[in-house]
Amino acid sequence: MARTRLRALPLIAAALVAFAFAGQAAAQKSAKDVVLKFTYKQNGASDPLEKWLKDKKIIEQFEAANPGVKVQLAPIPSTEGDYATLLALQLSSVKTAPDIFMEDTYMTATDAASGYLACLDPYLAGWSDWAKYLDGTKAAVKGTDGKSYGVPISTDSRGLWYSYEVLQAAGVKTPWQPKSWEEILDTARKIKKHDASVAPIYLIVGAVNGEGVTMQTFDMLLYGTGDTMYENGKWLVKSKGILDTFRFIDAVYNKEKLSVGLDVALAKDSGSQVYAKMFPKAKAGIGLGVCTTSGNWVPTGPAPIADVEKVFGFAAMPTQLGGKPATVNLCGGWSWAISQYSKEKDLAFKFIAFCGNKENATARSLYDGRMSPRSDSISIDEYAKRPFIKEMVANMANSFVRPKNESYAMVSTQVQAIVEELASGSLTPEQAMAQYQARITNIVGKDKTFEK
Amino acid sequence: MSNHGHRGNNATALTLILPAIALLGFFFVWPIVLSCYFSLTDMTLSGSRAVRYHFVGFENFKHLFADPLFRTSCANTLIFLALSAIIGQLALGFIVALIMRGKRRWFRSAVGITVIAGWITPEVIVAICWVAFLSREGSVNAMLMGAGILEGPISWLISFPMASVVFANIWHGTAFSMIQFQAALDSIPTSVEEAAEIDGASGFRRLWGITIPMVKGTIMTDSILITLKTLGVFGLIYAMTGGGPGTKTTTLSVYMYKQAFSSYQMGYGTAIALVLLLLGVILSLCYMRVSKTPL
Amino acid sequence: MKRKNAKSAAQYGALSLVFACFALPLLWLALASFDPNADQIIKIPGKPTLANYVSVLGGPENLQGFLNSLLLAGLQSVVDVAVAFLAAYPLSRFQLSWKRHFLYVIVFMTALPLNAIMIPVFKLFISCGIQNNLVTTSLFMAAANLPYGIWMMKNFMDDVPVSLEEAAWVDGAGKLKAMRKIVVPLMVPGLCTVLIYVFTAAWGNFFVPFILLQDAAKFPASIRIYQYFQLNGLVEYGKLAAYSVVYMVPSVVLYALTQQFMSKGFAMGGADR
C-alpha cells in the first residue's frame, strides 16, 4: 500500500513540474506585436492606478491608436519601500528592465546616476504639453546632471490636518492656523488636558511607512528651522535645526506623550488607523500629513464623510518660530520613466505622453487624491471642486523638493530608521543626531558633509 | 585497505559526487568568494556606484565595528538564538517528546500533528497567524481579558517585540527537534531504564543519569542544525516586525537586508553577511568542542 | 500509585497546554478562511461561506503563483534528492583519502545562512543573465539545501548493511543493479525524509525568489500573498486566511504521504554518529 503510494510520488512531481512549465509557456505573448512592458506598484485589489487604467480604458485607447503595439502590464505587488528595491533590481539588467515604469521621484536622481533611466530631454523638447507642467514638478524629475528623466504623474502638498470637533472641544479657535511649533504643541496640550482618551498629534514615524517619515515628519520640521538636508553639494549632518527637529519628535512621542500610541504609530497601516478610524470618531486631533489623506474621506474611500470640509480642516505647517517665511511645504510625487535598456523608447514616450495629457493626467489624480502636475487641470470642473483643493494649491507657497543627489535614497532610509528609533525611545534627540551624522557620513563620505 | 568491502576508486567517486560539486561550486562557493570581494568595495544597489564601484579595503569592517546598530543586532541575534532555538525549540522539543512517551495513542497523534503543522507552515503564513494572534484586537488579548488577567489590550508586537518573534519561531521550529528526540528516545532500550527504576533511581536522576547521556549525540546535532537555521531566520521577523519597533528585533539577518537592499549599501551589507557566516561557523565549532562529538 | 496518577495528570495537562498553544493560531486560520467578515479574533463565522476560497482560486494570477511555487520547490526537491543520493553513495561506501575533509566542508556549508550570500548570488545571476528564471532560481535553492541533504543521505546510507549489497554481487548483479535493487528500496525512509525537508524549506521560502525573480508572472505564492495587504494598510483577513490554507496544502499532503517513514528516518539518520 505504502509502496504504491510512494511509487506515484515521482510521477506526481513530474506532472506538476510539467504543468507549471506549460503555464509559463502559455503566459508568453505572440511574437508579432511590439510589446511595451509597463511596471507599477500594485496595492491590493483596489489599486487606484489600476482603477484609472480600467475605468478610462487607457491601455485599450492607446493600443487602438497604435496598431501592432501591445502594452503588457507587469505590476509589482508590494509595499512602498520594497517597490523601490524590487524596481532597482529589475532596472539593473537588460533582461528584466520594463520599458515604462512608475517611479517615486526621490529615486530619479539615484537611478539616473546608475544609468538605468533614459534621458527624456529630446522628447520633451518636442512635446507642447510640457509647458503646462508645474515648475516644481519639473524640478523633481531632474537628475543630478540637470537633465530630465521622467514625466511627472503627480505632485503633493503637506500640512496639518485637524478635527474641528476635537479642537473646538478643547477650546481652540477654528479655523486653526498655528504660527509656530510651540503653538502646535500648545494646542496638543490643550487637547490632552481636555480629554486624555484623544490622541493630540500624529506624526508618521514608522520606518515601515517609508518615504513618508522623511518627507512628512523629518523634512517638514527641518526645513522649517531654516536648515535643509543638502546644500551646495554637501549634506548637513549636525546643526541646531536637526537637533530641534529630533527634540520636537521626542517631545510629541516621549517627553510629553502627545502622540497616538506606538502600536498605532508603528503599524504598517498607521495612516489608515489614524485618518480612517480615529479622526472620524474624534479620537485624534491633529495629523501632520499629505494631501492624499483626504482620500480616506471621499465617498469611495474607506471612511466616507459628507461635507468633509466642515468636519476636518487643513492648516499650513508653520516654520519653527513663524515670521518669514511663515509656512513650509515639501513637494514629492511620482513620475513615468523609461528604461535605458528599452528598445522602444519612442513608443514608450508616446505612451507616457498619452497618460500625461490634460484629460488623462487630471483624471488620474482624482483617483488617489494627489495633485495633478499640470497647471491647466484646475480648469477641469471635477478637479477644481475636489475638497481642500484651494488650500492645497495655496499651500505650495514656500515649497521645497527633496535633495537632488544620488545618495538621497540611501540617506532617506537612514532618516526613517533613526526617526523610528527616536520615537520608540531607543535614542535620545542628542543620540539621534550623533547617529544621523555617523550614518550619513558612512554613506556619502566625510568630504561631502558639513556642520552648522 | 578497505574495511567496508567496496573497492571504489577516486574516479568513480568523483563522477558520482560531480553533480553535487558543480551545483555547490557555482551557486554556493563562488558567491562566498564574491562576498569576500564585495565586502571590500563601496558597491550600491543603484546610483553611480552600482556600476562603477571601488575597492575600499577594510573600510566597511571599520565602520561595522564602530556601528552601534551592528552591536545591537549581534546582541539581538544571540538573544533570539538562545531563547527561540536553545531554550525554546530544543528544550521544548525534548520535553514534549519525553512526556509523550507512554501516553495514549490518539493523544500522542493529536499533539504531534499540531506541533508538526507549525513546522510545515510556510514562514510568511506563520508571521500572518502570529501578527493576527498577538495584535491589539487579536485573540491573545481577548482571551487574557476574558479570563480577567489583563485589564486592557496590549500590543504585544510593540510592547514585547522580541518575545513575540521568539514565540512565533518556537511555534514554527519545535517540531523538528521533537521528531529527532522522539526517534532518539525510541531507540533507547527499555531494559536500560527499567533496570534503573528497579535500582530505585528517582525520575529526575534517571533522566539526568541515563536518558540524557543516551541522546547526547542527538542533542548536539539538533543544537547545531537549529542554531544555524535560526541564524538565518529573516522572513519571519521581517514580516512580523520589520526589525522594529526601532531596532528591538533587528537581528543580523534583518540588518543585512536593511543595509544592502533597503538602504542600497551592498558593500556594507555584504560585510555584515560575512560576519553572519563567521558566527555560524564559530558556533558549530563550539558545539563540537563542548560535546566532544566528532562528525 | 496516587503519586503516579497525579504525575500522569500533570503530564497530560502540560501536553494539552502545548497542544492549545500550537493549535490556536491554526484554528484562527481555518475559521477565518470561511468567514466573510473575518478579523483578527478566533470566532465561529456567522455566515460560513466559500467565497474567500472562490476569490483566491478564481484568478489566474494566484493559480500561476501556486504553480510557480510547485515548480520551484518540486524541481529543487527532485534535483536535491537525486544529487544527494549520488554523492552520498561513495561518501558512505568508498575509502577515500579526502572523504573526511570533504564531509567537514559539507557540514560547514549547512552552517551558512542562505540570506547571507544573496547579494553576490544576485550579482552572479545578473552577470550570467540567468536571473528572473524559475529553473535557475530553483537550481540555486537546490544548491542551498544540498549540503544538508548530502549529510542526511550519507547517514541513512551508512545504516544500509553493505553485506546485503555484497550478497547481490555474489549473485552476479552489477554494482548499479545492486544499488537499484538493494540500496534504493532500503533507503526509502531516508529519501522521504530528505525530500520533505528540502521541499518545505523551498516551498515556504520568500527571500530567494523575492530577490532573484522580477516578473510578477513568475512570482511564487510566498510573494503573491502581499496582494491582500491594501494600500491603506487594511488587510483582507478572510481571503488571506483562505490563501494561506491553500498554500499549506502541498506540504500537508507530502507530509501525510511520507510521515510513516519520518520518525524512522530521523532515527536512522540521527545523529548519534
3-state secondary structure chain A: CHHHHHHHHHHHHHHHHHHHHHHHHHCCCCCCCEEEEEECEECCCCCHHHHHHHHCCHHHHHHHHCCCEEEEECCEECCHHHHHHHHHHHHCCCCCCCCEEEEEHHHHHHHHHCCCECCCHHHHHCCHHHHHECHHHHHHCECCCCCECCEECCECCEEEEEEHHHHHHCCCCCCCCCCCHHHHHHHHHHHHHHCCCCEEEEECCCHHHCHHHHHHHHHHHHCCCCCCCEECCEEEEECHHHHHHHHHHHHHHHHCCCECCHHHHCCCCHHHHHHHHHCCCCCEEEEEEEHHHHHHCCCCCCCCCCCHHHHEEEECEECCCCCCCCEEEEECCEEEEEECCCCCHHHHHHHHHHHCCHHHHHHHHHHHCCECCEHHHHHCHHHHCCCCHHHHHHCCCCEEECCCCCCHHHHHHHHHHHHHHHHCCCCCHHHHHHHHHHHHHHHHCHHHEEEC
Best C68, C105, C112, C151 member to test B by mutation, with max B CBs in 10 Å, is C112
What pLDDT digit, counting tens, does each position of A106-131 carry?
A: 899 999 999 999 999 999 999 999 99
pLDDT at C140: 95
Higher pLDDT, A96 or B18: B18
Please check the confidence at residue C247 and state whether its pLDDT lies above 80: yes
Q: Which of A261, A406, A409 sits opposite B48 (nearest CB)?
A: A406
Q: In this structure, are A129 and A177 located in the same domain?
A: no
User: Which whole number is the average pLDDT over C111-125?
Assistant: 84
Interchain CB distance below 8 Å, B99 and C11: yes
Please check the confidence at residue A296 and state whether its pLDDT lies above 90: no
Q: In this structure, are A425 and A441 located in the same domain?
A: yes
User: Which whole number is the average pLDDT over B214-242?
Assistant: 86
Best C39, C133, C211, C214 member to test A by mutation, with max A CBs in 10 Å, is C214
* A113 falls within a domain: yes
Please check the confidence at residue B214 and state whether its pLDDT lies above 70: yes
Cα–Cα dist A432/A253, whole Å = 14
Whichever domain contains A259, its CATH number is: 3.40.190.10
Domain limits at C254? 59-269
Please check the confidence at residue B179 and state whether its pLDDT lies above 70: yes
> Phi then psi for A193, rounded to 5 degrees?
-65, -40
pLDDT at A127: 96
pLDDT at A15: 59
Please check the confidence at residue A3 and state whether its pLDDT lies above 70: no
Q: In this structure, are A101 and A207 located in the same domain?
A: no
Most confident of A120-134, A301-315, B185-199, B221-235: A120-134
Cα–Cα dist C107/C114, whole Å = 14
What pLDDT digit, counting tens, does each position of C173-224 carry?
A: 777 787 777 888 888 888 888 888 889 888 988 889 988 988 888 989 988 8
Nearest residue of B to residue A109 by CA position? B47
pLDDT at A268: 78
* C23 falls within a domain: no
User: Which whole number is the average pLDDT over B79-97?
Assistant: 93
The domains of chain B are located at 1-32, 62-291
Structural domain tally of chain A? 2
Place C2 in a pLDDT band, splitting at 50, 70 and 90: low
Structural domain tally of chain C? 1
Place C225 in a pLDDT band, splitting at 50, 70 and 90: confident
Q: In this structure, are A89 and A189 located in the same domain?
A: no
Higher pLDDT, B49 or A185: A185
* C32 falls within a domain: no
Q: Which of C143, C163, C165 sits opposite B27 (nearest CB)?
A: C143
pLDDT at C50: 92
* C110 falls within a domain: yes
pLDDT at C273: 37
A174-A179-A184-A185 Cα dihedral, nearest 10 degrees: -130
Residue range B62-291 forms a domain whose CATH class is: mainly alpha
User: Which whole number is the average pLDDT over B154-174?
Assistant: 93
Q: In this structure, are A49 and A70 located in the same domain?
A: yes
In chain B, what percentage of residues exceed pLDDT 90? 40
Higher pLDDT, A414 or C186: A414
Domain limits at A315? 158-331+403-451
What pLDDT digit, counting tens, does each position of B106-148 carry?
A: 888 888 889 988 988 888 889 989 988 998 888 999 999 999 8
Place C234 in a pLDDT band, splitting at 50, 70 and 90: low
Tell me the nearest-neighbour CA distance from A266 into chain B, angstroms: 7
Best A106, A420, A439, A442 member to test B by mutation, with max B CBs in 10 Å, is A442
Whichever domain contains C204, its CATH number is: 1.10.3720.10
* A358 falls within a domain: yes
Q: In this structure, are A148 and A173 located in the same domain?
A: no
Which residues in B lie closer than 8 A to residue A273 (C-beta atoms)?
Answer: none
Q: In this structure, are A175 and A246 located in the same domain?
A: yes
What pLDDT digit, counting tens, does each position of C66-101 carry?
A: 999 999 999 999 999 999 999 999 998 888 888 888
